[in-house]
């Protein structure tokens, strides 16, 4: 066992560094997050709307997918302070499976329709989380 | 290895990689974050790089991504997967060639770089940096998954004998 440790000392150190960085950045993210005020919706990089999280509603989104021009591509639901997508017309459904978001910085992404939905705070855009 | 034999061996590995990809797509996401997955198909790629060589590894990886995207994905997911596959492949090949690190470590580095490449492409495609928020989650999942994939690959590399392989 000791020989094995000695032989793979470098490997153990490298993997530990990966784990430490991952766990440290993860705990930092989890500790600094707070409930968001609204969601910001962009299509193809452009802002199309901001919807408050405290208002229960359903919004039809039209993504920028050349195959389904002008159709409703995704349906955004806001309910009890959380936002989620209830429908997507793409095959992979990653955005629907992303589930519910409510903390600033969290987002739902639909790559095929080029839609992003991000939770932001009251004043700022939650940008200081990533900048 | 003779050409016909090599062709047959590579075909079997591609088929295996695709089965692993399919299996993985059947596993329900246990965390609600896109991009978190085990990367089972990487077992086939690492195995090939170590057993047959770098060129064969590139071949297997790219053919797998193309086939899986055609069968189960969309055009967008093709770019996304291709970026991840290529960066992780480059890291795997370079580490194998220039260091004496264990397969598990190479696999971890490959897994993490795969996730970073995918986040990078997603940022470029969507012209946004919001996804960077998820980087810590992907770092952790990439490391843990990389360890699992690395252990499986190391066992296979040790136990499976291919005629004429290294």
Task: For residues A56 and A101, state if they share a domain.
Answer: yes
Query: In B, which residues are within 8 Å of A8 by CB distance?
Result: 102
Candidates A107, A129, A125, A105; CA nearest to A116 is A107
Chain A closest CA to B11's CA: distance in Å?
27
- Sort strands A115-120 and A107-110 into parallel, antiparallel or unpaired: antiparallel
Verify whether the Cβ–Cβ distance A109 to B101 is below 8 Å: no
Single out the residue of A108, A129, A101 nearest to residue B132, CA to CA: A129
Q: What is the pLDDT of residue B28?
A: 63
Domain segments of chain B as ranges: 3-28+39-159
> Does the interface predicted TM-score (ipTM) exceed 0.85?
no
Most A-contacting residue of B24, B80, B133, B150 (CB-CB within 10 A), to test interface: B133
- Indicate whether A28 and A88 sit together in one domain: no
Range of the domain at A26: 2-32
Residues B115-152 have pLDDT tens digits of 888 888 888 877 777 777 888 888 898 999 999 999 99
Q: Check CB contact of A98 with chain B, cutoff 8 Å.
A: yes
pLDDT band at B30 (very low <50, low <70, confident <90, very high): low
List, for chain A, all residue ranges whose pLDDT scores fall below the cut of 70.
Answer: 123-131
What tens digit of pLDDT does each residue of A118-130 get? 998 876 544 444 4
What is residue A131's predicted lDDT score, i.e. its pLDDT? 41
CB contact under 8 A, B105 and A99: no
- The kind and range of the H/E element at A94 are helix A94-98
Q: How many domains does chain A have?
A: 2
Residue B11: pLDDT band by 50, 70, 90 thresholds?
A: very high
Distance (Å) from the C-alpha of residue A46 to the closest C-alpha of chain B? 9
The CATH number of domain B3-28+39-159, selected from 1.10.510.10, 3.20.20.10, 1.10.579.10, 1.10.1760.20: 1.10.1760.20
B residues 21-80 closer than 8 Å to A (CB): 29, 32-34, 72-74, 76-77, 80
Structural domain includes residue A92: yes
Q: Same domain, yes or no, for A57 and A101?
A: yes
Residue A129 lies in a domain: no
Model pLDDT, residue A111: 79
> Inter-chain contact A92–B32, Cβ cutoff 8 Å?
no
pLDDT score of B63 more than 90:
yes
């Amino acid at each position: 066992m000791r020989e094995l440790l000695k032989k793979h000392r470098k490997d153990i150190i490298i993997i530990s560094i990966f784990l430490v960085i991952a766990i440290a950045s993860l705990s930092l993210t989890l500790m600094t997050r707070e409930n968001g005020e609204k969601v910001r919706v962009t299509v193809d990089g452009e802002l199309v709307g901001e919807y408050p999280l405290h208002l229960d509603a359903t919004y039809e989104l039209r993504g920028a997918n050349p195959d389904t021009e002008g159709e409703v591509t995704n349906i955004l639901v806001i309910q009890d302070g959380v936002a989620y997508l209830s429908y997507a017309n793409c095959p992979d459904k990653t955005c629907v499976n992303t589930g519910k978001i409510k903390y600033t910085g969290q987002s739902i992404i639909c790559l095929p329709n080029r839609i992003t939905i991000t939770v932001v705070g009251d004043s700022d855009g939650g940008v200081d989380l990533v900048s | 290895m003779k050409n016909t034999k090599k062709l047959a061996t590579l075909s079997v590995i591609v088929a295996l990689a695709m089965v692993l990809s399919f299996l993985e797509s059947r596993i329900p996401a246990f965390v609600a974050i896109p991009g978190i997955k085990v990367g089972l198909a990487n077992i086939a790629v690492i195995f090939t790089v170590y057993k047959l060589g770098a060129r064969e590894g590139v071949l297997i990886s790219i053919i797998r991504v193309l086939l899986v995207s055609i069968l189960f994905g969309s055009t967008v997911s093709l770019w996304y997967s291709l970026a991840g596959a290529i960066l992780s492949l480059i890291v795997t090949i370079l580490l194998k060639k220039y260091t004496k690190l264990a397969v598990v470590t190479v696999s971890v580095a490959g897994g993490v770089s795969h996730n970073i490449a995918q986040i990078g492409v997603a940022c470029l495609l969507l012209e946004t940096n919001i996804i960077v928020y998820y980087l810590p989650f992907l770092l952790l999942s990439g490391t843990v998954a990389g360890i699992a994939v690395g252990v499986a690959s190391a066992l296979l590399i040790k136990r499976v004998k291919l005629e004429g392989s290294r």
